[in-house]
Amino acid sequence: MFDNLRDGILLLREDDLLFCNSRLCSILNIKREEITLAQIIKKLSATKNPTARKNILQLSRGHQFDSFQFEVSFFPDTTSTLEIQSIEISFMGEETLQVILSDQTRELAVESELFDTLSIFNSIYNAVDDVVFIIEKSDLTLQSSNLAMEQIFKIDRASCKGKHLWDLISERDDVDKLITEINEKLPKTGALHYVFDMIRSDGEKFPALHSISEIKDCKKKVLAIMWIVSDMSHNEYLNKVLAEVETRYQVLFNRAGDATFLIDFESKQIIDANHAAEEHLGFSRMELIGKTIFSITPPARQKSLEDVWPSLVQKGSQSVRGFSLTKSKVEIPVQTSMVVTKFGSRQVVIAATRDISQQIVIEQERLRLEKLEAVRQVTGGIAHEFNQPLQGLMTIADILDLKKLNLADQQPLIKNIPPLVNRMDLLLNRMKGIVRLAVKPYVNADEILDFEQSSRYEQMLIIGSQAKLVGLGTRVGQARGMLVETVNTIRKAKSKVLKEQYDIVVCGGLCSLKKNEEIFNEIKEIVGEKRIIEISKYKKKSAVLTESELIRIIDDILA
């Protein structure tokens, strides 16, 4: 039985071994038959305790005393680690020495581990944001609290020790009921949770979440109660702000004038829709939720919507024109603005759709009025410009009709008729060449056509280096549809026709061949050198010009 003990036990009478268990032999690394008082004293002399060393010295001199205790560290054998022994030496009866060696190596290791654990627990205990109370179970008095106590309750935690918890509870009328519930329910449930107000040292109330549990030892004996108080004032503020934001969103969403849809980006299903969307499409909100956007888009327009969808992620937002399909299968032209955003963990699209049917009608009416205004300006300008020569002709006619003039007196009046007619003809020709209108002020703040400032293409003759590129026309834009004539046609053209019909003669590469050079010289003689533009000067190579190149070069020259 004694050999199974953790402590080593030795009884000596002088050098006679009365009793020794195997544990003592293993601790001292001495065989049972070799144990003597001298060897015991030698082993125990390793202690650093001066009082113990003194007693051991007296022991070696035969001095007897009641008992003494000390600790000694030594290696039981060459392979083992250092062990710390608590040794009790006493005398039993006459000169009977009792030595008890208690191995405390494991106890100290456990104590060290426990100290580390307690240090970690204490760090966590003081680091948490919630207040942690350790409360005496019998009377609910505060035994200890963490640092959060001072931050939340604004009171020194040392001053709270021994106080009752209900001193910190706002509604003290319910304390008795609370204590009764804790005593009755806590042993059964193991934990309780409450929400009620607490009070700070300055009298301020704040909402708090209370978590109550029991602290038990290894034998499940209740040692104390742990009471955790979580300050919910910040959470209450966040909930209030969140509720305000949600209310504001719902007001904006539901009262928006445009039909607004909340659409899941992946599935393209409608998550929510506002009241304007119901009126716009004729569906109820519950009918719209769950539908895909393609179900409210005309089949012919769905492809364009599919093309827009992938680019939304890159751009973040996009505005497009399209059509909506109502419940009654009516297509409505719409302008849709889409924005991609996060809705919780989902990627969603907020689409605001506006009916632009009336806007299109207004635009069409505006264009019609602009066209009418342009016509009015043109006709007004023509009427104004034509009025002068026309009035001259009418005056001459009146004079010739009313007055009986002889032939000699009629001659000066008749001579004025051709210039007036030519002026009207010139205005008509100018009118044909106008491509961009300019206006000028007129009576009653109206505007009429300004012939001088309006841009126009000159009448021109285009001659290429080959017969295929010879053309006659009044606008560069008509070059593709110009009359195809040969060089011989140009040769046969009368000088009067060329000189009066065309303001500019454009020649392309005519000097590249001797034959064309002759034609070029003939034209110069007819129309004059100043009225000729030679395209070969604008082309680095003398290769034959194509029709498109010819048009481009002429556009550049006139620009």
Nearest of 329, 326, 352, 350 to residue 340 by alpha carbon: 350
- Write down the pLDDT at residue 252: 82
Dihedral, CA atoms, 52, 56, 62, 66, nearest 10 degrees?
Answer: 30
Same fold, 2-108 and 128-236: yes
CA-to-CA dists, residue 221 to 46, 172, 421, angstroms:
43, 30, 128
- Write down the pLDDT at residue 510: 45
How confident is the model over 157-196, as pLDDT tens digits?
A: 778 787 777 777 766 666 777 777 878 888 888 888 888 8
- Write down the pLDDT at residue 475: 39
pLDDT of residue 485 exceeding 70, the answer is: no
Distance CA 226, CA 213 (A): 5
CATH number for region 2-108 = 3.30.450.20
- 424 with 390: CB under 8 angstroms? yes
Can you give the C-alpha Rg of the chain in angstroms? 57
Residue 478: DSSP 8-state: G
Cα 186-187-189 angle, rounded to 5 deg: 60
Residue 487, amino acid: V
What would the mean pLDDT of 298-310 be, rounded to a whole number? Answer: 84
CATH number for region 128-236 = 3.30.450.20
Q: Determine the angle formed by the axes of helices 417-433 and 407-415, rounding to 10 degrees.
A: 20
How confident is the model over 415-433, as pLDDT tens digits?
A: 888 888 888 877 776 666 5
Tell me, yes or no, if the pTM score tops 0.75: no
Residue 55 in tokens = 């007693």
How confident is the model over 109-160, as pLDDT tens digits?
A: 556 666 667 777 777 777 788 888 888 877 778 888 888 888 888 888 778 7
- Write down the pLDDT at residue 191: 86
Distance CA 513, CA 516 (A): 5
- Write down the pLDDT at residue 547: 52
Which residue bears the tokens 């599935």?
Answer: 267
List the single range of 272-286, 312-326, 396-410, 462-476 with lowest mean pLDDT: 462-476
- Write down the pLDDT at residue 69: 56
Q: Determine the angle formed by the axes of helices 357-402 and 407-415, rounding to 10 degrees.
A: 160
Residue 433, amino acid: G
- 293 with 277: CB under 8 angstroms? no
Residue 315: DSSP 8-state: H
Architecture of domain 256-355: 2-Layer Sandwich (3.30)
pLDDT of residue 315 exceeding 70, the answer is: yes
pLDDT of residue 451 exceeding 70, the answer is: no
Distance CA 354, CA 257 (A): 8
How confident is the model over 85-104, as pLDDT tens digits?
A: 455 555 555 555 566 655 55
Give the rounded distance of the alpha carbon of 111 from its chain centre.
Answer: 55
Distance CA 7, CA 1 (A): 12
Q: Quickly count: other Cβ atoms within 10 Å of residue 156's Cβ.
A: 11
End-to-end CA distance of the chain: 123
- For the chain, give every domain's residue range: 2-108, 128-236, 256-355, 360-449, 458-558
3-state secondary structure 186-229: HHHHCEEEEEEEEECCCCCEEEEEEEEEEEECCCCCEEEEEEEE
Residue 394, amino acid: M
Residue 225 in tokens = 């109660």
